[in-house]
Chain A
Amino acid sequence: MAATESVTINTLPGNGAGSGHAHFGRLLVAEWTKLRSVRSTYWSLITVVLAFPFFSWLIPFLIAHNWNQADPGSRAQVLQDPVSTIIGVGIDLGQFGIAVLGVLVMASEYSTGMIRSTVLASPRRVRMLAAKSVVFTLLALVIGEIVSFVAFFIGQLTFKSVLTVNLGAGTNLREVVGAGLYLGMLALFSMVIGALIRHPAGAITGVVLLLLVISNIIQLIPGAAGKYLYSYEPTNAGAAILTNHTSDKFLLTAWEGYAVFAGWTALLWVLAAWLLVRRDA
């Protein structure tokens, strides 16, 4: 089994030539290899890629099917923001695939102990975190944009018999592009939570609690405090880009909201980077 006959191996060409610090580009390639070589990446992305467009067909299909029987109030609701109707459910579901994957990208390094190999290869830990962030965010962003547009066109076709949804009209384009942007930022946000909590189950619970429960119940806090907390909660703020209307409880415009989401993510990223350097691997 072991190649006992040949004990030495060829010396690497160019070794000791001091080819500089592990280049950032190399770290990007390595992180890409990590990402594409585990099955959880595919499982998670498949949920987004299948669920998002599926529901962008299902919901318009059901609405169109019942259009004539529906009461004027329901119709008005759809007409007011058709894009949100098309992409709303799909993104509500699809985001969990992205969020879970984001958490795993970082937390599974700890749960498997692989983090030690990782930081031995790139002891400049912040660069490693940056490379991981870039690769994963870009992947999520690209997939998010593609899926959002596909989902939109599917919904548009399905609605055709009862209403016309024009990509160029109103804020429609911003909402579709925004869906991809939202998924990209959520990917990074979840990855950072994974880096902070370092335990897959704990971090997934945290992100899911935030997305599903905390983001909603926070508005129960009485007074202006509740209003502010609700509006500035990261995922609520980020989701403002997905609609053309906000309730009077919501204090931010679409892009302000997205900026708040990005700000939260940046803040937590810096915290995660600081802890990554400080904590023993």
Chain B
Amino acid sequence: MSTITDTRSTLTGLTPLPPASGRAGFGGALRSEWTKIRSVKSTVWTLAAAIIISVGISTLGNWGQASHTSLSAADLARRDLVQRSMFGIMLGQLVMVVFGALAITSEYATGMVRTSLTAQPRRLHVYFAKLVIVTVIAFVVGEIISFASFLIGTHFWATKGVDLSLSSHGALQAVIGGGLYLDGAALLAFGVGAALRHTAGTITVGVFLLFVVSIIVNFMPDSWQADIDKYLPANAGGQVWATQHTADVGTAFGAWAGFAVYICYAVIALLAGLLVFKRKDA
């Protein structure tokens, strides 16, 4: 209990506000979106889960493979061990989808979007501020995952006589690319989420695009596979975190061309989300 002795008139007890400095701007929108994201338990949990699950699975997978392989060091060196070391990204992308989805759909689930848009009626400000925050956070978390996975993985492969480091051929690009790939997954889900406004639906669509489409194509005849395969989001985007770009079937894109295709999916989703966010009643 506190005793408040200063009870002058209405609000004089409060520190006076600085004078209003024009319109609510993009800087304010950015700060408010950052506060929203960091102050909610589900976001923090999702990101923590992304890191723990991805790095954990990378560690487990590399330990298992390195300790059981019958291949010689020379054979191993011909494989894309850089990509393999970041194996956990396969799971991490799913958690990133959940993060990207929740960043926008949770506003609809709670009805908070109405508060947000009353505070900042210029919807593009809100949308892009959210987008910037999601992009930056997903990038940082993504890079933490890819670097941690890679650095841990090198230890296991070193026991097999394979010397991997960031200065290995293409390694730095692939490891940075791993984080970028995860970032792309979050952005894709963010766009879909803005368009669908439904958490479960968004996660389902994200899972479909990143995982399930590949399963379907796997069942197709080889001649079809070769053409379709490389355009699938996961396969195109996968090039940026690989050091070898010729897939088993057909020819794959190069690292950055593949990433560009991958980002196209995200951009399409983001544009669709933008239209819905701007036009549709909140």
Contacts and interface: CB of A to CB of B under 8 A. Distances in A.
| A/B: CB atoms within 8 Å of each other | yes
Interface of A: 40, 43, 47, 55, 58-59, 62-63, 65-66, 69-70, 74, 85, 88-89, 92-93, 96, 100, 103-104, 111, 199-202, 204-205, 208-209, 212-214, 217, 220-223, 226
Contacts of A209: 53, 91, 94
Contact of A59 (B101, B102, B211, B219): B219
Given A199-B42, A201-B98, A212-B94, A96 B212 contact: yes
Contacts of B57: 213, 217
A66 B221 contact: yes
B220 A62 contact: yes
Contact of A93 (B53, B95, B203, B216): B216
A201 B94 contact: no
Given A55-B216, A103-B200, A213-B90, A96 B98 contact: no
A205 B219 contact: no
17 contacts: A40-B200, A47-B204, A62-B219, A62-B220, A63-B221, A69-B223, A89-B219, A92-B215, A100-B200, A111-B109, A200-B199, A204-B98, A212-B94, A212-B207, A213-B91, A223-B68, A226-B64
- The B interface is mostly helix, strand or loop, or mixed, namely helix
B203 to A, nearest CB: 5
A96 B200 contact: no
A88 B90 contact: no
A204 B203 contact: yes
Contacts of B87: 217
Nearest to A218: B60
Interface in B184-206: 199-201, 203-204
A233 B161 CA distance: 34
Contacts, number: 95
A66 B64 contact: no
A62 B224 contact: yes
Max chain A C-beta neighbours (<10 A), residue from B60, B102, B216, B224 = B216
A66 B60 CA distance: 40
A202 B220 CA distance: 33
Given A40-B200, A200-B200, A212 B211 contact: yes
A210 to B, nearest CB: 11
B159 interface: no
Interface of B: 42, 53, 57, 60-61, 63-65, 67-68, 87, 90-91, 94-95, 98, 101-102, 109, 199-201, 203-204, 207-208, 211-212, 215-216, 219-224
A226 B60 CA distance: 11
- The A interface is mostly helix, strand or loop, or mixed, namely helix
Contacts of B65: 220
A104 B201 CA distance: 11
B78 to A, nearest CB: 20
A65 B168 CA distance: 45
B204 A100 contact: yes
A43 B201 contact: yes
A49 to B, nearest CB: 15
A92 B223 contact: no
B221 A70 contact: yes
Contacts of B219: 55, 59, 62, 85, 88-89
The 6 closest A-B pairs by CB, nearest first: A66-B221, A220-B64, A222-B68, A222-B64, A89-B219, A213-B91
Contact of B42 (A55, A62, A201): A201
Contact of B95 (A103, A205, A212, A220): A205
B212 A104 contact: no
Contact of A205 (B64, B203, B208, B222): B203
B178 to A, nearest CB: 16
A206 B67 CA distance: 28
Contacts of B53: 209
A69 B222 CA distance: 10
Nearest to B61: A220
A217 B109 CA distance: 33
Nearest to A107: B200
Contacts of A85: 219
A47 B205 CA distance: 11
Contacts of B215: 89, 92-93
A213 B94 contact: yes
A54 B65 CA distance: 37
Contacts of B91: 209, 213-214, 217
A204 B216 contact: no
A93 B214 CA distance: 11
Nearest to A47: B204
B48 to A, nearest CB: 13
Contact of B67 (A93, A213, A217, A222): A222
B206 to A, nearest CB: 9
A59 B220 CA distance: 6
Max chain A C-beta neighbours (<10 A), residue from B101, B204, B211 = B204
A183 B189 CA distance: 27
A62 B225 CA distance: 11
A174 B184 CA distance: 42
B147 to A, nearest CB: 21
